[in-house]
Structure formats: structure tokens, C-alpha cells
Structure 1
Amino acid sequence: MVKLVAIYRQPENKEEFDRHYKEVHAPLAAKMPGLLKMEVNRVYGTPMGESDLYLIAEMYFENQETLEQGLASSEGRAAGKDLMGFAKKLVTMHFAEVV
């Protein structure tokens, strides 16, 4: 199993970010073909105190091929376009293998 991990830094306007993420972006991402599970985690701190991170989203797929197909689908492209529209400066994306 593999996952696409999106790591978001703190947004300037958390209420606006949360609204867009919940009402627009997450529903778009959830439509990607091959997506088995999506977890969204709000970062509330570190052992040393505050964190510069805000949200971590993990999208699970059976394998790399399925993940790539999901991203290349019309649903995946729509989610990617939306992401670049509201969080381009805040997000980094990573591929990870579940071990």
C-alpha cells in the first residue's frame, strides 16, 4: 500500500482555509478513483511546543500505479487544480510506502 501525503503549513486565515478544505477540496480529493481511505490530521503542537504545520492529509492507494492513475484522472486533476488555487504556497506533497 502507498499513500499521497499532503503537509500544510499554517494558513493566514484558518477559518477560510478550513471552510474551503472541508467544503470544496476534501470532497474533490475523495472522488479520485482508486482512493481507499483518506485521513486528515490537524497538527496541534510538537513535544517542544508550537508547530509551523497545520494539517496533514493522507490518501491511501493499493499501489503506486493506482495512485498515479488517480492523480491523472479528471477527478485527480480537478483536486490538484483546486489545491494550487487555495494552498499552493502552504502545501508540500509526498509519496510514501506503508511498511
Structure 2
Amino acid sequence: MVKLIALYRHPEDQQAFDDHYENVHAPLAQKMPGLQRLEVTKIAGTPMGEQAPYYLEAAMYFESEEALKQAMGSPEGRAAAKDLMGFAGPLVTMMIGEVTATGERV
């Protein structure tokens, strides 16, 4: 399993960012073929109580790197990428990671 990770730095207008992310960007991203899970985390701070350099983290899970590449090249993936660059291009850092260990505690 792989995930596409997006780390967003603090936007100037958090309310406008949140509104766009929740009402426009996330719904576009959720239409990407092969997407198994979209997990969004609003960063609360560091363990030392300081403000973290990032405001939001989003992780999109796919079965394989090939599935991720196909999703990104799809019309839905291109629409999500175009939207991302329009509202958060300067704020976002993107990475791809391989998920090697899982285990949820109940």
C-alpha cells in the first residue's frame, strides 16, 4: 500500500482555506479512481507546545504505486491537482510513501 501525503503550511486566511478544502478540494480528491482512504489531520502543535510548521496533513491511500499513478493521471486526478495548485500551491509539500506497518489500537 502507498500513500500520497500533502503537508500544508499555515494559510493566511484559515477559514477560507478550510472552507475550500472541505467543500471543493476534498470532494474532488475523493473522486480519484482507486482511492481507498482519505485521512485529513489538522495539526494541533508540537509535543513541546509550540506551533507546528504545518497546518494540515492529508494522506490518500492507494493499493499500489501504479494505482496512485493511474489516479493522478485520470481526469479526476488532474482536476484535483489543478484545484490544489490554484488554492494552495505555495503552501503544499507533496510526498509518496510506502506503508510498511499498520496496526490500530482499540
TM-score (normalizing by structure 2): 0.92
Q: Which residue of 2 aligns with 1:62?
A: 63
Structure 1, unmatched stretches of 5+, are none
Question: Greater CA radius of gyration, 1 or 2?
Answer: 2
Shift of 1:70: 0.2
User: In the aligned structure 1, how far is the partner of 2:45 from the partner of 2:55?
Assistant: 9
User: In the aligned structure 1, how far is the partner of 2:10 from the partner of 2:75?
Assistant: 29
- CA displacement 1:16-73 (0-9 Å, x = unmatched): 0000000000000000000000000000100121112100000000000000000000
User: For residue 76 of structure 2, what is the amino acid of its counterpart?
Assistant: E
Report whether the alignment pairs 1:51 with 2:52.
yes
User: In the aligned structure 1, how far is the partner of 2:32 from the partner of 2:51?
Assistant: 33
Q: Which residue of 2 aligns with 1:83?
A: 84
Q: Which residue of 2 aligns with 1:38?
A: 38
Partner SS state of residue 88, structure 1:
helix
Q: Which residue of 1 aligns with 2:22?
A: 22
* Amino-acid identity (%): 60
Count of residues in Structure 1 that have an aligned counterpart in Structure 2: 99
User: In the aligned structure 2, how far is the partner of 1:14 from the partner of 1:92?
Assistant: 17
Q: Which residue of 2 aligns with 1:11?
A: 11
Q: Report runs of 4+ in structure 1 exceeding 2 Å deviation.
A: none
User: In the aligned structure 1, how far is the partner of 2:28 from the partner of 2:86?
Assistant: 13
TM-score (normalizing by structure 1): 0.99
